[in-house]
Structures are given as C-alpha cells and as structure tokens.
Amino acid sequence: MKKIKRAYYYLFYKIYKSIIYTSEKVGGEFWSDFKAGLALGALEILLLASILTYYSIINNIKLDIEVTYPIILIPLILLFILNYFAFIHTDIWKEYNKEFDRFSTEKNRKGTIIVWIIVIIIFVNFLGSAYYLHKNIFKMY
C-alpha cells in the first residue's frame, strides 16, 4: 500500500513539475498545485470512464449517463475525497516533492518516461474504449 501511495504522489510530482516547466515558458507560475491536481483528476476520470465503458460493452447494456447515477457519482466522490486528503487538506505532497527532487537525474529521467507512458496508456485506453462503445452502440440499433 505504501508503494502505491508513493507512486501516486510521484505521478502528481511529475505532472506538477511539467506544469511548472511549461508555466515558466508561457508567462509565469501560478496555481501549479491546483493545475496539477486538476490534470491528475482528469486522468482519473478518463480511467474511470474507460472502465465504465468496458463494463457496458461486456454486459451489453446501453449507458444513459447522468452524473447523479450511483455508478458514476460514487467513484467521483471517492476520487474527490482521495485527492482532497492527498493534496488540499494537507501539504504532505510538498514533503514528497522535496524527497523526489533529491532523486538522481537518471532516476528522475526514468520516472518521467514511466509517468508519460502511463499518461499515454490512459489516453489511448480511453480513446479505444470510446471507439468500441461507438461501435457497440450501432450494433444495438
């Protein structure tokens, strides 16, 4: 469990560092922690949407998506609570960032590659699930 927590904070750290880097290039760093949290939340939502899409395809059910449905609302609330306690309620992420800053250049480079592979996989997975859902919808009608 501790390794999963560290990996989660490392994912946030790399997104945070990327946002700081790009913010410096285009006009200044502000709200970087908020933007990193938002980006991480978006990735989590894409992952949940993919899972929900695969669920509907496997069970051959039509999705009438409304945010108030428990199958959507409960995971979103759990993600919000997780991110609230990980990044907003406490500043523990700053301690992790300091620890990750001390990593060697080589270790950070490998971590960056792994994080970007994970991000790309999440995006490709979401696009693939949307494609299969679209394909499956036309079979139903």
Output DSSP code: residue 84.
Answer: I
The pLDDT value recorded for residue 46 is: 92
Predicted confidence (pLDDT) per residue in 58-74, tens digit: 887 776 665 556 777 78
Structural domain boundaries in the chain: 2-140
- The first and second tokens of residue 42, run together, are 């978006």
Predicted confidence (pLDDT) per residue in 27-39, tens digit: 666 778 888 888 9
The pLDDT value recorded for residue 112 is: 92
pLDDT above 70: residue 110: yes
The pLDDT value recorded for residue 125 is: 94
pLDDT above 60: residue 141: no
The pLDDT value recorded for residue 82 is: 84
* 64: Cβ contacts below 8 Å, ≥ 6 apart: none
Cβ neighbours of 125 (radius 10 Å): 17
pLDDT above 60: residue 48: yes
Measured between alpha carbons, how far is residue 44 from residues 88, 101, 106, 107 in Å? Answer: 17, 24, 27, 25
* Range from 10-14, 49-53, 63-67 that averages highest in pLDDT: 10-14
Output DSSP code: residue 66.
Answer: -
Predicted TM-score of the model (pTM): 0.80
Give yes or no for a contact between 40 and 83, defined as CB atoms under 8 angstroms apart.
Answer: yes
The pLDDT value recorded for residue 49 is: 87
Measured between alpha carbons, how far is residue 28 from residues 19, 21, 25, 39, 98 in Å? Answer: 10, 9, 7, 18, 21
pLDDT above 60: residue 24: yes
**Alpha-helical regions (H) of 1-141:** 2-26, 32-58, 70-83, 92-101, 105-140
